[in-house]
Amino acid sequence: MTMTEGHIPVIIVGGGQAGLSMAWCLRQKGIESIIFERNEAFHSWRVNRWDSFCLVTPNWQCRLPDFHYDREYGGTDPDGFMLRDEITDYLRAFAEKTRPDIREHVEVTRVAPRAQGGFRVETSAGDWTCDQVVIATGGYDTPIEPDYARDLSPDIVQMHSVDYRRPEQLPDGGVLIVGTGQSGVQVMEDFVRAGREVHLAVGPAPRSPRRYRGRDATDWLYDAGHYDITIDAHPDPVKALTQTNHYMSGRDGGKEIDLRRFHVDHGVALYGSLAGMDGTEVTFLPDLAKNLDDADRSYVGIRDQIDAYIAREGIEAPEEPPFVKVWEPKKERTRIDLAEAGITSVLWAIGFRPDYSWIKADVFDERGKPVFHRGVTDHKGLHFIGLGWLNTWGSGRFLGIEEDSRYLAGRIAEQLAVPARRVG
């Protein structure tokens, strides 16, 4: 039987920006915590991103607690988009300032309530007890690949975006990229720039303008209060919780991604959603036109929201020409033979799913997703942070982590009956 290593008021699982922020906000309330991180701090930013990765939101939105990019950190390009290594530098500077008690290369294998209250936390380096647990592991545990991927010919190389770093990793020849979320379209551009033949299975992800009427679209939406809308007040919370992030790019100072334009200007072959694989044959749903139209509808809708805000506030801003489709599919191809088409690899960019099997508490719905309000579950002492729409759109992103961490630290202090205080 493993000996218990000790007791701590709060254990935080996960050493990314959410876990680091949580530890700092707890310390400011005089609450001791330990972070357990199975790899190294902010591993996913340092290791699980491709070489050309950059943020799609402006640097000014990087607002860790008491460590805003253009204030405490002293960043000089608030309207730019940090590259992968710049993001890790920002996080490293935050960790050096806050100096959390983080135990790296320690995997948490089980979290279970204790009969006498609190929790037992089993780890690869011994077991602990605590009064409160904060799960800050995010939702990117298991890369998603469909079952039919096993039916693809072994002659075709397969790779998930989590393992992708640069085009040279994949063999010469065409590449089929599956998925058009933020990862899929940015990886697509990587291969286009490398002069590779690109085929793209277009999913239902929405898209966003980048600059519109003289400013970044996210600046307009922030000023209009769009990012202050909570999930409780959202007109369509189900859509908010299930919709893929809008795609655009921070590359080259920021740009929007129009897949129709990539087809016309760069010859990217577009198909509908991937439906199946058998040997070297691949089938697609006949939904390319619909998916392109839906993405454009989202794009135009955001422009309309900005127009309405500008008109309502009487702001002077340059006019923009109306959106025009530069191309429409006349006939959709629903089946191709990869070998005949010269496609030698498939790159999956259809996301991840979380794995909470190690948490032995009744806080999950029938789909295995945690149920909470602003991160606080119905099981006293068990909390989540760093997930999308924990409270607002900014939750799970740099923009909302300060508000979420401070709120949750306050709730933990209440549950621990800690007197109000603030320490540096």
Helix (H) or strand (E) holding 21: helix 17-28
**What pLDDT was estimated at residue 243?**
84
Which of the 8 DSSP states describes residue 326? S
Q: Quick one: fold of 143-348?
A: FAD/NAD(P)-binding domain (3.50.50)
233 band by pLDDT with thresholds 50, 70 and 90:
very high
Residue-wise pLDDT tens digits, 7-65: 999 999 999 999 999 999 999 999 999 999 999 999 999 999 999 999 999 999 999 99
Closest CA to 360 of 156, 73, 110, 55: 110
**What pLDDT was estimated at residue 3?**
52
Say if CB 29 and CB 416 are below 8 A apart.
Answer: no
Say if CB 417 and CB 36 are below 8 A apart.
Answer: no
240 band by pLDDT with thresholds 50, 70 and 90:
confident
Q: Which residues contact 26 (CB under 8 A, 6 or more apart)?
A: 10, 32, 33, 409, 412
Q: What is the mean pLDDT of residues 214-232?
A: 96
Q: What is the mean pLDDT of residues 81-107?
A: 98
**What pLDDT was estimated at residue 420?**
58
**What pLDDT was estimated at residue 141?**
83
115 band by pLDDT with thresholds 50, 70 and 90:
very high
Residue-wise pLDDT tens digits, 169-178: 999 999 999 9
Q: What is the mean pLDDT of residues 114-143?
A: 95
Q: What is the mean pLDDT of residues 211-220?
A: 98
**What pLDDT was estimated at residue 72?**
97
Rounded CA-CA distance 203/182 in Å is: 11
Cβ count within 10 A of residue 166: 12
Among the CATH numbers 1.10.10.10, 3.50.50.60, 3.30.450.20, 1.10.760.10, which is that of 4-141+354-416?
3.50.50.60
- Does 393 score more than 70 pLDDT? yes
Q: What pTM did the predictor assign?
A: 0.94
Q: What is the mean pLDDT of residues 240-254?
A: 91
Q: What is the mean pLDDT of residues 113-127?
A: 96
Q: Tell me the percentage of the chain whose pLDDT exceeds 70.
A: 97
**What pLDDT was estimated at residue 1?**
37
79 band by pLDDT with thresholds 50, 70 and 90:
very high
**What pLDDT was estimated at residue 302?**
98
Closest CA to 97 of 76, 60, 66: 66
Q: What's the residue count for the chain? A: 424
423 band by pLDDT with thresholds 50, 70 and 90:
very low
Q: What is the mean pLDDT of residues 390-409?
A: 95
Same CATH topology for 4-141+354-416 and 143-348: the answer is yes
Q: Which two tokens stand for residue 278?
A: 């058998």
- Please, what is the angle between helix 259-266 and helix 288-313, to 10°? 120
Q: Which two tokens stand for residue 221?
A: 């939406």
- Share the mean pLDDT of the chain: 95
Say if CB 83 and CB 53 are below 8 A apart.
Answer: yes
Residue-wise pLDDT tens digits, 175-208: 999 999 999 999 999 999 999 999 999 999 999 9
338 band by pLDDT with thresholds 50, 70 and 90:
very high
Domain ranges of the chain: 4-141+354-416, 143-348
**What pLDDT was estimated at residue 139?**
83
- Does 424 score more than 60 pLDDT? no
**What pLDDT was estimated at residue 77?**
97
Closest CA to 135 of 393, 417, 355: 355
Which of the 8 DSSP states describes residue 124? B
Say if CB 370 and CB 384 are below 8 A apart.
Answer: yes
Residue-wise pLDDT tens digits, 129-156: 999 999 999 988 899 999 999 999 999 9
244 band by pLDDT with thresholds 50, 70 and 90:
confident
**What pLDDT was estimated at residue 154?**
97
94 band by pLDDT with thresholds 50, 70 and 90:
very high
